[in-house]
């Protein structure tokens, strides 16, 4: 029964998306925006998805995806914010767990919010945080900015349509709203100029024997260990293209105080 309701809801939204081209003027519009985060490689991040200018009549069906580059980011979950927590799930009874569903696709995290309740008091009517995205930046990610996009779910417009879905759906009882989307991003920070702590391969804030061991294992091609982008920068005491035994020796000399941070990088 639960699966049938979810499938029926998806079919209804797909048919709505197909018919959107025939709608000259949508009844309302809604603004959807993803925020921004700034973290280092290997760190966790959270970003909010917010709604604004929500129609006073409310929204009872939502269907879209958060697009991202899975080679840089790993989205680990999407949780419902206060705007989406309308009480619809409890009113739906044993079908409550179908009101808000998510799943991970290929470079997408799909979001579906849909209620069959006719009472619009349990529809989405407020502006504010609709969702919170949680994720992790890959440990080998390079400094830069990786986009988080609001986009249509990658699937057919409807089963056996032979055409791709092109709709970001926010609708009121079958009437689609115009969606004004603003994408967000995660900026991966690099080491600040002058802030490199030479030898700190594990980014602990200290240069000690554990850094020597870690870099020695990297130099020995131990595939069970890895360095973050910041760790690679700190460990590259020769300022060349390799992390090798020479770097491990240099870090050992830093630990033994035979070298100082001012002596680095070695040329």
CATH number for the domain that contains residue 90 = 2.60.40.680
pLDDT at 231 over 80: yes
Give the model confidence (pLDDT) of 219-230 as tens digits: 999 989 999 888
- Indicate whether 198 belongs to any domain: no
- Indicate whether 199 belongs to any domain: no
In this structure, are 128 and 221 located in the same domain?
Answer: no
Give the model confidence (pLDDT) of 135-166 as tens digits: 999 988 888 899 999 999 998 887 877 889 99
- Indicate whether 251 belongs to any domain: yes
In this structure, are 183 and 219 located in the same domain?
Answer: no
In this structure, are 24 and 121 located in the same domain?
Answer: yes
What domain range includes position 215? 209-263
- Indicate whether 200 belongs to any domain: no
Instruction: Provide the phi-psi class of 69: left if phi over 0, else alpha when psi is between -120 and 50, else beta.
Output: beta
- Indicate whether 248 belongs to any domain: yes
In this structure, are 62 and 105 located in the same domain?
Answer: yes
In this structure, are 177 and 236 located in the same domain?
Answer: no
pLDDT at 27 over 50: yes
In this structure, are 170 and 243 located in the same domain?
Answer: no
**Beta-bridge partners for 184:** 148
In this structure, are 119 and 11 located in the same domain?
Answer: yes
Q: What is the mean pLDDT of the chain?
A: 87
Give the model confidence (pLDDT) of 162-206 as tens digits: 889 999 999 998 899 999 999 999 999 875 544 689 999 998 888
> Domain total for the chain?
2
In this structure, are 75 and 169 located in the same domain?
Answer: yes
Give the model confidence (pLDDT) of 55-93 as tens digits: 999 999 999 999 999 999 999 999 999 999 999 999 998
- Indicate whether 194 belongs to any domain: no
User: Cα-flanking dihedrals φ and ψ of residue 79, to 5°?
Assistant: -110, 155
In this structure, are 131 and 166 located in the same domain?
Answer: yes
In this structure, are 110 and 173 located in the same domain?
Answer: yes
Last residue of a domain, one of 189, 223, 240: 189
Last residue of a domain, one of 189, 223, 251: 189
In this structure, are 81 and 156 located in the same domain?
Answer: yes
| Percent of the chain residues past pLDDT 90, beyond the cut | 65
**Beta-bridge partners for 176:** 171
In this structure, are 213 and 180 located in the same domain?
Answer: no
- What local confidence, expressed as pLDDT, does residue 193 receive? 45
Distance CA 21, CA 153 (A): 17
Token pair recorded at residue 70: 């899975």
- Indicate whether 222 belongs to any domain: yes
- Indicate whether 257 belongs to any domain: yes
């Amino acid at each position: 029964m639960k699966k049938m309701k979810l499938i029926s809801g998806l079919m209804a939204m797909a048919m709505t998306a197909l018919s959107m081209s025939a709608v000259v003027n949508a009844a309302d519009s809604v603004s959807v925006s993803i925020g921004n985060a700034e973290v280092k490689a290997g760190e966790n991040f959270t970003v909010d998805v917010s709604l604004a200018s929500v129609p006073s009549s409310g929204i009872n069906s939502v269907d879209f995806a958060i697009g991202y580059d899975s080679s840089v980011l790993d989205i680990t979950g999407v949780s419902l914010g206060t705007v989406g927590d309308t009480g619809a799930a409890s009113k739906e009874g044993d079908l409550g767990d179908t009101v808000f569903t998510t799943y991970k696709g290929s470079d997408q995290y799909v979001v579906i919010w849909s209620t069959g309740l006719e009472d619009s008091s349990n529809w989405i009517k407020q502006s504010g945080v609709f969702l919170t995205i949680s994720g992790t930046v890959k440990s080998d990610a390079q400094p830069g900015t990786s986009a988080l996009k609001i986009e249509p779910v990658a699937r057919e417009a409807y089963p056996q349509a032979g055409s791709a879905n092109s709709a970001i759906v926010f609708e009121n009882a079958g009437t689609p709203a115009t969606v004004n989307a603003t994408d967000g991003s995660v900026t991966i920070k690099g080491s600040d100029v002058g802030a490199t702590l030479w030898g700190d391969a594990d980014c602990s804030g200290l240069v000690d024997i554990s850094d020597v061991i870690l870099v020695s294992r990297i130099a020995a091609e131990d595939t069970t260990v890895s360095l973050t982008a910041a760790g690679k920068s700190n460990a590259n005491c020769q300022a060349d293209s390799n992390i090798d035994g020479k770097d491990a020796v240099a870090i050992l000399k830093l630990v033994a105080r035979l070298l100082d941070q001012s002596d680095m990088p070695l040329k």
